[in-house]
Amino acid sequence: MQVEQFNYDNKIVRDFGIATVIWGIVGMTVGLIAALQLVWPEVNFGLQYSTFGRIRPLHTNAVIFAFVGNAIFMGVYYSMQRVLKARMFSDVLSKIHFWGWQLIIVASAITLPLGLTTSHEYAEMEWPIDLAITIIWVVFGINMFGTIIRRRERHMYVAVWFYIATFVTVAVLHIVNSIQMPVGLWKSYYVYSGVQDALVQWWYGHNAVAFFLTTPFLGLMYYFLPKMANRPVYSYKLSILHFWSLIFIYIWAGPHHLLYTSLPSWVQSLGVVFSIMLIAPSWGGMINGLLTLRGAWDKVRTEPVLKFMVVALTCYGMATFEGPMLSLKQVNAIAHFTDWIVAHVHIGALGWNGFMTFAILYWLIPRIYKTQLYSKKLANAHFWIGTLGILFYAIPMYWAAVVQGLMWKDFTPEGVLKYPNFLATTLEILPMHMMRAVGGLLYLSGVILMTYNLVKTVKTGSLVANEAAEAPALKPIEKSEPSAHRRLERKPILFMVLSLIAILIGGIVEMIPTFTVANNVPKIASVKPYTALELTGRDLYIREGCVNCHSQTIRPFRSETARYGEYSKAGEFVYDHPFLWGSKRTGPDLHRIGGKYPHKWHFDHMLDPTITSPGSIMPPYPWLIEQDINYKYLTGKMKVMKNLGVPYSDDEINNAVEHAQAQAQAIVKDLESNDVQVEPSKEIIAMIAYLQRMGTDIKAEPKAAEDANKVAENN
């Protein structure tokens, strides 16, 4: 038997490990600052670049793509080399992947606080960064499949299945969700609008959680947990069932984020059905992991890495039970837009992703440095501090969610809203938000403790950059395998194609009819495109991240129509690129805010929210009153909108700036009549124009709308 000598590349593993720790501290620190701002908005220090609306996407992207992303690559590069018995395909590609990913993170960390955002949740980066992500993801894929093809192990271990599914699905999700038409280097509009944009975004948003935060970590679990416990995986057959059912079912569930919206009801129902089905494969994976520890529970009591893994799997089970439960319409009616969603997400992020990452770091770093962990006592302390952090974070958020959901829907015996002022709910849950911040501080403290422990560990050892290994050369296939799946495990390209087919089916079934069926989004005659000034104000609304706190969709509930006005119709959003329905109500819904208050109210509210809403936790926006509107790209924006199907006339495009200035003068004149002096060139004027337009189109009388259409046709 010919035995080949080769080396594992531990340097790339070390690099991703360092990046994981650094970005983890950065992302969690930003998250703590954001949490504090929901109690004390002045924690933004009066800076426009550090308001909650701007740093919330910085926090989510730093934690998801910087902390968790680097952790994934660290674990994949370590485990893949060992289960395939081969060094990574190309050291150069590994370095390009590492440094390219870090540059993407830095670019995102700079642009998001500057307000350069698309507003799509978990995909807020503008098109140049999206393009860079695509390139680096392809580099990763080439390196991964090159390694698989050069393997010395005939069969691909279960962890590799999940890595393959992660690669192909994230590629599809990213490409479909990132189709934008650029206006300039840092501004673009999504080609989708309204309801269709909402479907694409939450097809992406839900499955980014599925295939970036779940499937790669399941692959890591299948490799690292048996290694840590020194036990074989409980069931090979269960892992097959777990894998294929999970990747097929998961992709359908995205519409459960849009229940009771104007998304077609049949799509909502599909999302609910597949969300309920998702419990089975999700819990199958959790059970396979926990049962792998059979006979090793004494070791769990003494080994901190296994404690982290057990809690990680438990949190995974809890989060994957909650998701289907939240997709039930009766539960969703109360829980959606509340802090329950925040708790649900963080059970997965802090427990599943965070704790598994910590376990892998504690196990892996000593091995590539050929030393022992500096202190198990510190690791155990980290475990208990982190666990308390999760509890202090999640429990108050569940409590706050119940308070929110019940207060929003509470009516008096006379049939009127008991709490018509949204702010009453906000003030009621402030103590819970304070406790949530304490939980975040505890969790971050544990990470800092881990960092100290790992640094001390590294100092006692020396990195084995090229770890010597040997394995028999891959032999030609001599006999057929007894099962079809064992034969499939020999064929990585076929495996990839079948995985791609499995994840494409759900997206195709849900999206193609929504995009192609005639009159699927009924038109409303009175709904018109935004004026030049209103479009400018909408872009400012996006820049400031207002969608992170305010929704723009009123659901057909008595409680919502009584508080906000007429429920939202699909036809009202046909010119919205992007949609701005939001996913959390830290503040009230704004879809019918237009015309509800005078211009001066909006001016005062942006200058200092406590003037109009005493006790408000919304930060002031004085820079909107100080900064001039940038009309540089206005004509280009409207041209792009016209190319996307928005019916702007040539006159509206060619004279966009003049029309915007004329509308601004009218708003300034109204403000002057209320003793407010402001120049028409200031951003606040565009913001007021947008807010006053929001949701007003359907208020037009049918006869007036018909007359307006006739005039437009004659012109």
Q: Which residues are documented as binding site for heme b?
A: 59, 344, 346
Q: DSSP characters for 674-709?
A: TT----TTBHHHHHHHHHHHTT-GGGS-HHHHHHHH
Q: Do 43 and 29 meet the contact criterion of CB atoms below 8 Å apart?
A: no
- Of 569, 576, 525, the C-alpha closest to 708 is 525
> Residue 411: beta bridge partners?
417
Task: Report the alpha-carbon distance of residue 72 to residue 95 in Å, rounded.
Answer: 16
Q: Do 149 and 81 meet the contact criterion of CB atoms below 8 Å apart?
A: no
> Residue 5: beta bridge partners?
470
Phi, psi values for residue 183, rounded to 5°: -100, -40
Number of H helices, E strands in the chain: 31, 4
Task: Report the alpha-carbon distance of residue 141 to residue 88 in Å, rounded.
Answer: 11
Q: Do 706 and 547 meet the contact criterion of CB atoms below 8 Å apart?
A: no
Task: Report the alpha-carbon distance of residue 236 to residue 224 in Å, rounded.
Answer: 16
> Residue 417: beta bridge partners?
411
Annotated binding site: 59, 206, 256-257, 344, 346
SS3 (DSSP) at 337: strand
DSSP state of 256: G
The beta-strand segments (E) located in 530-635 are none
589: tokens are: 């819904």
Calculate the CA 289 to chain-centre distance. 26
The burial of 658, by beta-carbon neighbours within 10 Å (0-12 exposed, 13-18 middle, 19 or more buried), is given as exposed
With a CB cutoff of 8 Å and minimum separation 6, the contacts of 388 are 439, 442
DSSP state of 255: G
Task: Report the alpha-carbon distance of residue 518 to residue 8 in Å, rounded.
Answer: 56
Task: Report the alpha-carbon distance of residue 394 to residue 343 in Å, rounded.
Answer: 5
Q: Do 278 and 333 meet the contact criterion of CB atoms below 8 Å apart?
A: no
Task: Report the alpha-carbon distance of residue 173 to residue 181 in Å, rounded.
Answer: 17
Count the helix, strand and coil residues of the chain and give each as a percent rounded to the nearest 5. Answer: 65, 5, 30
Task: Mark residue 209 as left, alpha or beta (left: phi above 0; alpha: psi -120 to 50; beta: remaining).
Answer: alpha
Q: DSSP characters for 46-77?
A: T-GGGSHHHHHHHHHHIIIIIIIHHHHHHHHH
- Of 647, 630, 350, the C-alpha closest to 527 is 647
Task: Report the alpha-carbon distance of residue 667 to residue 675 in Å, rounded.
Answer: 13
Cβ neighbours of 103 (radius 10 Å)? 13
Dihedral over alpha carbons 612, 614, 620, 624 (to 10 degrees): 0
Secondary structure of 145-193 in HEC code, one letter for each residue? HHHHHCCCCCCCCHHHHHHHHHHHHHHHHHHHHCCEEEEECCEEEECCC
- Of 621, 592, 599, the C-alpha closest to 665 is 599
Annotated binding site for Cu cation: 206, 256-257
